[in-house]
Homo-oligomer: A and B are copies of this chain.
């Protein structure tokens, strides 16, 4: 039969799957001989079975009863006893911390008889009745869903009176009396904790934190200790280091004559932990010694909860403590310095997401006014701008603007693109605004429910703002400030840029040290997606060891657009004019990346993207015709655009298809690459271009392009050897990678297109239209454009790597889709055996860190 209950002495900190984090850590402390009140843990498996079957698993209650008897023996008290009752706390605790999301009930075991006994036994009537009052309140709320407000409405009073009033509230809402049988209280409480796993707020929290829904929570049952037994009692929380900055030295709060929940609720003023040295020097010394032992045991920052009952110290909880991104880096480096962990382990203590947080500019909150309100931090960053209330105004604005809407929809896209930031009064992290803003990397605060939008004004807590008023929004904290809050550039970015050194700054020194080690460990190279020499130079400063994607179509914009227009209208001379322009672009790029590979993708997008939109031309021409005017050049363009119009341009004439259909187009680009490389080489440089063919689905396409390209390359004297490879971005390319490898010296996954075609949706069309709904329904845990979908797109990556390498063992394989800079995806690419990832310059350090973390095999502690 399955065993569902473990005494604290039976577990240890590595049993989080079974005992939850809290239970495992209580067990660990018990085994260390620390003063933990005795107790036991009901496993997560019991919870899963309960939720699956809708009833208590067979044998569970009998097992609880046996452990309860052990507890009675150990404490010398009896559960439900009228004279000196054993009282219990019942606390939830899943594998991953979900603070405040699930339930706690204290003082289980008290009833009308026991409260009198407790009063007598403790000599403290107030304490006894107050404990009973707390029990009725927590139990009512948690087990029977009695609204908290119903108890609050009773108001203050003597504990004994409150007990009577609360019992009435309980009866009014449940139709029954408060249960007097202590076992009934306990069993009902355990069931309520189980059910709290699926409470709406818990489900939402897990979705946001990407915690699986099928884990379940454990239930910790522990003998009560009381911090509210007088001035020689109290309760506190503490960290072994400063969780905000990582500074060494304990850090915490203490509250005399109080229970833990009073600290959490912030009901009364706490004192600094240091003051405990004066209040209770013995407990203080003991606590410091325990904290030191915990750090040694956990080899990391710990946070703890403790209670002092009549001068006796009890440890109620510990765990590896949450910390800010800056503290994560500083502490990891400190622990290495202290000899506690290795550099490999230190890499596991930080993450690319934390580094990304450190790279955003931030508001100088010291000089900021009090925030107007706080919404959901939906897409990080700090944005300042004038309020606009509609998309058209935003799109037309010349000054920085913040688009403020009740909610957004696809019509708002032009305004969202133009605005510095987006603020909405409705919706959460899966709303249209949030999903689209994250997709764009744009600062967004949403669901700021205090905002009242009313045709041209927004009122927030009584203050009215109008279009044009400047506000500042913080997508990392959700705060909304009036006026312009000064923005700090990130010190970490300035450090990467070489503008400041790391010396003397603990954070920068830690970042430097960990980045060096990450680079040392990494098996994955990190290249950058960059189309211009300045971008390439920045990428290089940020540590990129190559350009993994240079999009040549970006060289056809601006003034050069008219050349493409002429090309489309059939003027072949346009190609000859484009050649020297492209060549000059490449020369600059090769200079910036001298000695490093530069992968140049031949032109990819449909050519009609270079012409005005069909709808716009249609309206112009219709208007002209209605007025009897000559539509002129617009008429010519309309004919061309109509002819080239595609129902689904993403699935149309683009990529390698363009090269095979439009004579001379690819040849011109290949010639520009070769001539630029030859010129650089002649000037003493070391250009290392590679030519990449987009959208290949069949090896025959690549063979045809390769044959043409090779003959062009052979005709350019002085060009260095230039490798030719292909994007793997249509599913067929992945499936036939064995064939394609025969004609490709390298592969580069284009995971944006590959994701679009694997799922059959285009990012442009669906992200706003239904991703929010899909996130809400749990169909995605995260957008597949943000983190690679391992089962779908990732499966094609694995297939292509296996088949490609089988056919050509020395094949170089990289990725240049946006996933190349996403931490979780980088780890996947490492595991899939890729050679490098390529990402935007600002993501390069993040990818470097993650590449090092993925390669470093040490198992670190779980820092959630």
Contacts and interface: CB of A to CB of B under 8 A. Distances in A.
Interface of A: 409-411, 614-615, 618-623, 625-627, 642-643, 646-653, 657, 660-661, 695, 697-698, 700-701, 704, 729-732, 735-736, 739, 753, 756-762, 764-766, 769-770, 773-774, 777-780, 789, 791-793, 795-796
Given A618-B619, A626-B623, A643-B409, A731 B704 contact: no
Contact of A619 (B619, B697, B770, B793): B619
A735 B795 contact: yes
B731 A758 contact: yes
A766 B762 CA distance: 18
User: Which of A620, A732, A789 has its CB near the most chain B CB atoms (within 10 A)?
Assistant: A732
Contact of A623 (B622, B753, B795): B622
A660 to B, nearest CB: 6
A652 B732 contact: no
Contacts of A652: 761-762, 765-766, 769
B760 A661 contact: no
A649 B761 CA distance: 9
Q: Lowest 3 CB-CB distances: which A-B pairs, in order?
A: A730-B760, A732-B792, A651-B762
Copies in the complex: 2
Contacts of A729: 760
Contacts of A779: 660, 698, 700-701, 704
Nearest to A621: B619
Given A626-B626, A660-B770, A739-B791, 8 more contacts: A619-B619, A647-B764, A648-B650, A660-B774, A729-B760, A731-B757, A731-B796, A736-B792
Contact of A622 (B622, B657, B661, B793): B622
Contact of A757 (B411, B614, B757, B766): B757
A761 B651 contact: yes
Contacts of A792: 697-698, 731-732, 735-736
30 contacts: A411-B643, A618-B618, A620-B622, A622-B626, A647-B649, A648-B650, A649-B765, A650-B760, A651-B651, A651-B756, A651-B761, A651-B765, A651-B766, A660-B774, A661-B773, A697-B760, A698-B779, A700-B777, A704-B777, A730-B760, A731-B758, A731-B792, A732-B759, A732-B792, A735-B758, A735-B791, A735-B792, A736-B795, A739-B791, A757-B758
A409 to B, nearest CB: 7
A620 to B, nearest CB: 8
A636 B780 CA distance: 34
B753 A732 contact: no
B660 A762 contact: no
Nearest to A794: B735
Given A660-B777, A777-B704, A695 B760 contact: yes
A329 to B, nearest CB: 37
A521 to B, nearest CB: 32
A701 to B, nearest CB: 6
A730 B739 CA distance: 23
A765 B731 contact: no
Contacts of A622: 618-620, 622-623, 626
Nearest to A793: B732
Contacts of A764: 646-648
Contacts of A646: 762, 764-765
A410 B758 contact: no
